[in-house]
Amino acid sequence: MRRNTLSVISAVLIGCLSSLPTPAQHSSSPGPSTSPLAAEAGHALLDRYCSDCHNVVDWAGGIAYDTLDFDHISNDAQTWEKVVRKLRTQAMPPAGKPRPDKAGYDSLATFLETRLDAAATAEPNPGRPAAVHRLNRVEYTNAIRDLLGIEVDAASLFPADESSAGFDNDGDILSTSALLMERYLIAARQISRTAVGDPTLRPSTTTYDAPVTGLQLDRESEDLPFGSRGGLVVKHSFPLDGEYRIRVRLQRTKGIEGPRIIGVGEPHELDVRLDGKRIKLFAMGGDKDLRPDQVEDSLEVRFPALAGTRLVGVTFLDDALAPEGMQRPLQAAIQLRGWGPRDDSMRPPGVQSVSISGPYNVRSNPDSLRRNRLFVCRPGAATEEESCARRILAGLARHAYRRPVTAADIDSLIVYYRSGHDAAQDSNGHQTGEEGNRFQEGIRSALQAMLVSPDFLFRMELDPPDARGPYRISDLELASRLSFFLWTSIPDEELLQSAAAGRLAQPAVLEQQVRRMLADPRSKMLVEDFMGQWLGLRTLSTLQPDILAFPDFDDDLRAAFERETDLLFTRMLAEDRSVVDMLDAKDAYVNERLARAYGIPNVYGGRFRHMTLADQNRLGILGKGAILTLTSLPNRTSPVLRGQWVLTNIMGAPNPPPPPDVPTFPEKKDTDFTQLTVRQRLEGHRTNPACAGCHARMDPLGFAFDSFDAIGEWRKVESDPVFASPELPVVHTPIDSSGVLPDGTKVQGPAELRQVLMREPRNFVYVVSEKLLTYALGRGLDYHDAPAVRKIVTDAARTDYRWSSVILGIVRSTPFQMRAPVQTEAHPTPALKTAALGKSPRLATLAKSAGTVAPATGAH
Amino acid sequence: MLIFKKSIPRRSVLKGLGASIAMPLLDAMVPALAKPAETFKAPHRLAIVFVPNGMWPMDKWTPKAEGPLEITPTLEPLTAFRDRLVMVSGLAQKEALPQPGDPTSEHMRASGTFLTGVRPKQIKGEAHGGVSVDQLAAQQLGKDTQLASLEMSMMANHDLVGVCQNNLSCLFVNTLCWKNSTTALPMATNPRTVFERLFGDVDTTDRQEQLVRLREQKSVLDGMKQRAGSLIDKMGAADRARLDEYVDSIRDIERRIQIAEAQSDRELPKLQRPAGVPANFDDYYKMMVDLQVVAYQADLTRVMTFMMGREGPDGGLAYPHIGVPDVHHNISHHGGDPVKVEKLFRINQYHAANFGYFLQKLQSVREGEGTLLDHAVILYGSSLANANVHQDDNLPILLAGGANGRLKGGRHVRVPDRTPLTNLHLALLDMVDAPVDKLGDSAGKLDQIFA
């Protein structure tokens, strides 16, 4: 190991700063595989390509290599990790400056990584997720489902959770307010009443709305019968055995003499089904003068239903001969704007909403105790009640609290059991003497308390009393980390048992459990919850493309986008494909509506089917409507958004936010009717040096996708302005999807760009692993997590980056298995690295010429 | 719509007087129940009604002259309330302007600044703002009510979570209200949730049912507070924050239960729990307003903030039922297109009409010698003027109500250009007896608006 020679500048600095406390000594040993030669070569590269800007005079980006100790890389791990990312993604030097060749980039990055990883192995810092981590509303909902078999609608029960680091399960920001606490109380009461089948439950109404711009011209769902058209199907939770009422409202239009139901002019038949079985067939319409109330008052059916979650379908019998999926252009616009056929009474009717009310005439069912999975025992005599209650509550609490329960846990629940038992009322609100009811109410009352208990609402990881440094978390904590990662829910009995027996941490057991959990249907949450947030797909539901620019966009297409990506990810996981396949898989799932948008012929009907794509431009997620739409603006494509999306999500090298005083994009002004395309207007980026640095990276990536319009349909020309104003001429400009990447690579169109991205699959796997680890830990990652992420990627490379190997890598990683206790977490960061200056003679000279250099902070 | 099961009994027994006296509607609910009606002093109340994406064209909003208020085309639906309105022109939010280092998120800053005068920021992923004027009022006015304040918006079915424009948290457009610089208050969007917030987990506003529920909750909370306490004891200081929050939340609810029990002889309007969000926008709007009026009427809270729509491009509303199917934000960037400008005007007038419904409801409820409208002050307006260029000065701001005699209506006040909006907020706080000296970028108090 070479010693540093202190340069003049460092001597000056030490003179100035000698009163500062000396920085904490980090042990640092160069990695076994790095030779002094590699260090020498690496340093030469930095000197040649980087130091022109990153030096103590310019402090570009807050980094000056002459302040960093190249022999003790791990002392400045935070900075060097940034450098590694820039090298791996070739994000620096900026476009136009000389840059090293690929081998140069790789050798320096490898050198740095090897040293950083060795230091991390010697002294691991697993980080520290929040010790008290509130369940978010998705986790809460799933926990209730797995605990009690009840589906609850979290969106109507709880306010949305805020998110950070891209996910809404970040323990550091999941806070608790009085408002939320009130909601927990309300939810606990409703859920506990449903769980025990409380016969005093009052009727309530749930209303399900059909999407406003859904056209209802097709069979809407695979859960609706063939030959049906429009309507909707919902999963509804029926709390008790009893009678329920369904009311249907139909789409209406503004008539001259008040609102009119669409389609009343002709007779139609409306089919209502429960779990696929018809419970009512209404005949409606046939007279165009019918008022809405005359039609809808009769659209009400009362029927008996058993408690449980059931499918309710409401749909029209299809009376037209047109094949499924036929849609006339501008249909959505017509419907929304009220243009369309002159006579709305002759158009096909649509369902606006379905309301389900109940229960009425509840059957007090003595069997409910036996049937209900909650009641694992039934007291035969009054004297057996409490012991039975203890048994029931112990079983529930074990799963709700995700750990073996103590006698104290049960004792505190029994208090609620007794008060509920004694206060029980019958269905008329009178004190009841019936033992069955009293027992049931006791259990309900204890369950209600359990569901607002901190032991249920918070995942807690407590430091062992003697923890000095990073420690391995307990098996039970590991079980919870696993289940919330893979299922977004509580551990099941098998996982709990294995943890309680102390076997879960054994590598073979752990792997077997992970594989079992991935095979379980509950792992679909990885698709819904993780993928939905990671790729920003959740926001798809709130986007509304401009209806005049994109009259072809409607809720059916939006739903198809969502379904397509869901099915695609599900397949990737189920087949344990390579993570990299996300970029170039030939798989697609389309129905007729989506196939038409993609220009795929011969696909009929609403069912989604798997197909193998021939069109190179559509391969992988980058060719899918969902991503292309959510990276666009409502009225036009945005190469900038798409470019930044690729940088962030595929390459892992996002640009920083735009600097201040950026002139806004030259949208059309009232006085400026020049016919420039988006591309032409973006050319300004190239001429303005303040913009060029970042836009030289973003724009060409975005341009490559410009053949896809803002809702992901293929186009050859940009029509401008789109319907802006009737007096303006519409100009069609051919799309130019070519661009030059910062390293000089020329790309044209999506297919070519994808091939360029595929050259560095490791970057993509790195981003995926980073996101997945963030999600798994429920905390934002920091520089000290980078060695763990690299290990996950490197290990997964051996099995061609299969999903299971990445997921297993995360489960085995240091941050997932370990935790830093609170006292060792804060690493003192010295304001200036006084002992680490001036390695390069040229830099030393530079520094000297600048006189005394004492930047206020090393990084900003 | 709320279903009034039966009319409120007009005859009710005043405790302590031993006589049955005919009472005006709802007087039975004023706090000073045992006192004779003459000594009744109405509480101060503050409401904020926010409309998003500016107010264009402004020349249809602002009257030409100062002095007596002229009804302009946008205000036309409010004609009946002319004498209760004060328009204030010339206010600005300088903190909404971009500064070096700010991302280009004008709408986010505009709504984040509206009630705070503090530029919203994101620091290490965490949202930072400043305390908002409603919350300062709530600190005083909330002392005797079950809820310190109520926050609501019309954004049901338009939930936004996570990252919005420019990687900033959606929090900045999801709410206007900040309890302090790091705690943003979520807005309730579902009428059912609002009902439950006001009256608890009950199906009707029946007092008996409510008391049974409160007692049950109290016993559950007692146990949970203990349990959290024992967990806290086992934790290091740094880890306790989240559980402390949990305990604090319980204390808040306990305080509320106490007030509710103390007020249990007060009669409530008979309402049923709404089923959920009505499909029809107008029904939805009316239901939300009815609940706000009931909240005042029953003195459950004295401070309310109501967001008629979300500012900016993320998850905005469209109004197809008034012939504007376009997303509001998109056409607010009208680029001078007369078609878009006409649609904006239509939205503005529609919002004004909806605001009129609120005023009319407040006026219809008698309280003491006057009406709820006499005893409240309401701030109505938008955080931008011309949203096309994100204009943050000459904001459209309107005051309504009597503020217990402190606000004289029928006026148009013009203040010097770029007077901070927070100067007005400070004057409002004075008006409701919750004075503070400084709020965000304030530079003095706007005393001109006092009668």
Cα(B192)–Cα(B201) distance, integer angstroms: 10
| Beta-carbon contacts of residue B237 (< 8 Å; ≥ 6 apart) | none
Query: pLDDT tens digit string along B197-214?
Result: 898 888 778 878 888 888
Q: B125's torsion region: left (phi>0), alpha (psi -120 to 50) or beta?
A: left
CA distances from B365 to A143, B207, B269, B370 (A): 45, 21, 11, 9
In 3D space, the residue among A740, A548, A797, A763 whose CA is nearest the CA of residue A649 turns out to be A763
Q: B60's torsion region: left (phi>0), alpha (psi -120 to 50) or beta?
A: alpha
- Pairwise CB contact (< 8 Å): B217 & A185: yes
Q: Which residue has the tokens 């002094």?
A: A36
Q: What is the DSSP code string of A60-103?
A: GGG--GGGS-TT-GGGGHHHHHHHHHHHHTT--SPTTS----HH
Q: Which residue on chain B is closest to A669 by alpha carbon? A: B335
pLDDT beneath 70, residues of chain A: 1-37, 212-215, 254-258, 319-343, 364-372, 425-435, 657-677, 720-731, 823-860
Q: Which tokens go with A99? A: 């840059």
CB B253 within 8 A of CB B217: yes
Cα(A708)–Cα(A2) distance, integer angstroms: 56
Q: What pLDDT, on a 0 to 100 scale, did the predictor assign at position A641?
A: 87
Cα(B265)–Cα(B262) distance, integer angstroms: 8
B217 at the A interface (CB within 8 A)? Answer: yes
Given the DSSP bridges, would you call strands A204-209 and A300-305 parallel, antiparallel or unpaired?
A: unpaired
Mutate to test the interface with B, among A544, A636, A655 (most CBs of B within 10 A): A544
Strand ranges inside A129-168, DSSP E: 132-134
- Pairwise CB contact (< 8 Å): A160 & B161: yes
Query: pLDDT tens digit string along B341-357?
Result: 999 999 999 999 999 99
B191 at the A interface (CB within 8 A)? Answer: no
Q: Which residue on chain B is closest to A253 by alpha carbon? A: B321
Q: Which residues does chain B have within 8 Å of residue A446's beta carbon, measured at their own beta carbons?
A: none
Closest-CA distance of chain A to residue B323, Å: 7
Cα(B163)–Cα(B170) distance, integer angstroms: 6
Q: What pLDDT, on a 0 to 100 scale, did the predictor assign at position B313?
A: 75
Q: Which tokens go with A816? A: 């997932």
DSSP state of A50: I
DSSP state of A373: T
Cα(B303)–Cα(B368) distance, integer angstroms: 19
Cβ-Cβ pairs closer than 8 A, A with B, add up to: 214
3-class DSSP state for residue B419? strand
Residue B37 reports pLDDT greater than 60: no
Query: pLDDT tens digit string along B154-178?
Result: 988 676 665 666 666 778 888 999 9
CA distances from A65 to A56, A719, A838, A840 (A): 8, 49, 8, 9
Burial of A137 (0-12, 13-18, 19+ CB in 10 A): buried
Q: Which tokens go with A549? A: 């620019």
In 3D space, the residue among A733, A632, A717 whose CA is nearest the CA of residue A674 turns out to be A733
Cα(B162)–Cα(B154) distance, integer angstroms: 19
Closest-CA distance of chain A to residue B17, Å: 33
Quick one: how far is CA A260 from the chain centroid? 41
The residues with which A477 forms a beta bridge, in sequence order, are: none
- Pairwise CB contact (< 8 Å): B161 & A780: no
Closest-CA distance of chain B to residue A249, Å: 10
> Could you tell me the sign of the dihedral formed by the alpha carbons of A37, A39, A41, A43, in that order?
negative
DSSP state of A530: I
Quick one: how far is CA A519 from the chain centroid? 21
- Pairwise CB contact (< 8 Å): B224 & A452: yes
Query: pLDDT tens digit string along A56-107?
Result: 777 777 787 777 777 777 888 888 888 888 888 888 887 778 888 888 888 8
DSSP state of A578: B
Which of A162, A183, A249 lies nearest to residue B161, judging by beta carbons? Answer: A162
User: What is the b/e burial string over A493-502, where b = at least 16 CB atoms within 10 angstroms of the residue's CB?
Assistant: eebbebbbee
Given the DSSP bridges, would you call strands B324-327 and B318-319 parallel, antiparallel or unpaired?
A: antiparallel
Q: Which residues does chain A have within 8 Å of residue B219's beta carbon, measured at their own beta carbons?
A: 416, 419
Query: pLDDT tens digit string along B244-290?
Result: 989 999 998 898 888 888 877 777 777 888 877 877 789 899 999 99
3-class DSSP state for residue A638? coil
Which of A132, A167, A462 lies nearest to residue B242, judging by beta carbons? Answer: A132
3-class DSSP state for residue A731? strand
B97 at the A interface (CB within 8 A)? Answer: no
Q: What pLDDT, on a 0 to 100 scale, did the predictor assign at position A343?
A: 65
More confident: B140 or A34: B140
User: What is the b/e burial string over B207-219, where b = at least 16 CB atoms within 10 angstroms of the residue's CB?
Assistant: bebbbebbebbee
Q: Residue A337, Cβ neighbours under 10 Å: how many?
A: 17
The residues with which A305 forms a beta bridge, in sequence order, are: A242
Given the DSSP bridges, would you call strands A609-612 and A717-720 parallel, antiparallel or unpaired?
A: unpaired
3-class DSSP state for residue A664? coil
User: Given strand A242-250, what is the order of strands in its sheet?
Assistant: A204-209, A351-360, A242-250, A300-305
Q: What pLDDT, on a 0 to 100 scale, did the predictor assign at position B195?
A: 92
Q: Which tokens go with B247? A: 């305990």
Cα-flanking dihedrals φ and ψ of residue B359, to 5°?
A: -60, -40
Q: Which residues does chain A have within 8 Å of residue B216's beta carbon, measured at their own beta carbons?
A: 189, 445
| Beta-carbon contacts of residue A512 (< 8 Å; ≥ 6 apart) | none
Q: Which residues does chain A have within 8 Å of residue B253's beta carbon, measured at their own beta carbons?
A: 178, 181-182, 185
Cα(A492)–Cα(A516) distance, integer angstroms: 11
- Pairwise CB contact (< 8 Å): B330 & A635: yes
> Could you tell me the sign of the dihedral formed by the alpha carbons of A225, A231, A234, A238, in that order?
negative
Q: Quickly state the pLDDT bin for B325 (edges 50, 70, 90).
A: confident
Q: What angle do CA A402, A404, A409 make, to 5 degrees?
A: 95
Q: Quickly state the pLDDT bin for B39 (edges 50, 70, 90).
A: low
Cα-flanking dihedrals φ and ψ of residue A859, to 5°?
A: -140, 145
Q: What pLDDT, on a 0 to 100 scale, did the predictor assign at position A438?
A: 87
Cα(A108)–Cα(B128) distance, integer angstroms: 39
Q: What angle do CA A664, A666, A669 make, to 5 degrees?
A: 115
DSSP state of B89: E
B210-218, long-range: CB < 8 A, 24+ apart: B210/B260, B210/B264, B211/B260, B211/B261, B211/B264, B214/B257, B214/B260, B214/B261, B216/A189, B216/A445, B217/A185, B217/B253, B217/B257, B218/B254, B218/B257
CB B137 within 8 A of CB B429: yes
Percent of chain B's residues with pLDDT above 90: 49
CB B277 within 8 A of CB B191: yes
pTM value is 0.79
The residue type found at A332 is: A
